[in-house]
Amino acid sequence: HYAFFPGTPRWPANMLDLTYAFLPGNSLTDDVKAVFSRAFVKWSTVIPLTFTEIDSYSTADIRIGFFVGDHGDGEPFDGVLGTLAHAFSPPSGRFHLDGDENWVISGDISSNSGSTAIDLESVAVHEIGHVLGLGHSSVEDSIMYPTISSGTRKVELASDDIEGIQILY
């Protein structure tokens, strides 16, 4: 079953139109940005929140960046595999991904991506769940289940994810 963070933090009801921005200097391709856009849409179709990309990283509600190793928030990344990404509970909006991962954005990860390949969209949908206030679920099919096998892709919300997020919003 779905879970929330202690104290059930969520974005306040007067802040349901959220903005997001990418760390300047990551210079992400349009393909990569499109993966995040698709991941946000999965959630915005089931709750009354909207997600709009803006250029200003400093003022965005949700700040997305790729970092390697120790990046100053007390939760260093660890090279290939191990920790893939982390996000903080509302209303932090911090959403960090491990730049050392072998991120795959093709949408066809199962064919021949290699044993360390991680599907970016799968991780993005999971981390956005954390950004919105969901903890981990015990339901294996859910997006918020705490493990994923490398070389697999899981991007569709399960009914458990939808029930949980609709309680929050």
Q: Which residues bind ligand TQI (CB under 6 A)?
A: 83-86, 122-123, 126-127, 130, 135-136, 145-148
Instruction: List residues near Zn ion by CB under 5 A.
Output: 73, 96
**What, of Zn ion, ligand TQI, none, does residue 135 touch, CB below 5 to 8 Å by kind?**
ligand TQI
127, 140, 156, 163: the catalytic one is 127
- In the complex, least distance from residue 110 CB atom to Zn ion, rounded to whole angstroms: 22
Report which DSSP code applies to 134: B
Rounded CA-CA distance 90/105 in Å is 27
Please identify, using beta-carbon distances, which residue of 61 and 121 lies nearer to ligand TQI. 121
Residue 156's binding partner among Zn ion, ligand TQI, none (Cβ under 5 to 8 angstroms by kind) is none
In the list Zn ion, ligand TQI, none, the entry touching 122 (Cβ below 5 to 8 angstroms by class) is: ligand TQI
Given a contact cutoff of 8 angstroms between Cβ atoms, the answer to whether 35 and 68 are in contact is no
Long-range contact pairs involving 4-7 (C-beta distance under 8 Å, separation at least 24): 4/133, 4/134, 4/135, 4/164, 4/168, 5/89, 5/133, 5/135
CB of 96 to ligand TQI, least distance (A): 10
Distance of CA 151 to the CA centre of its chain: 18
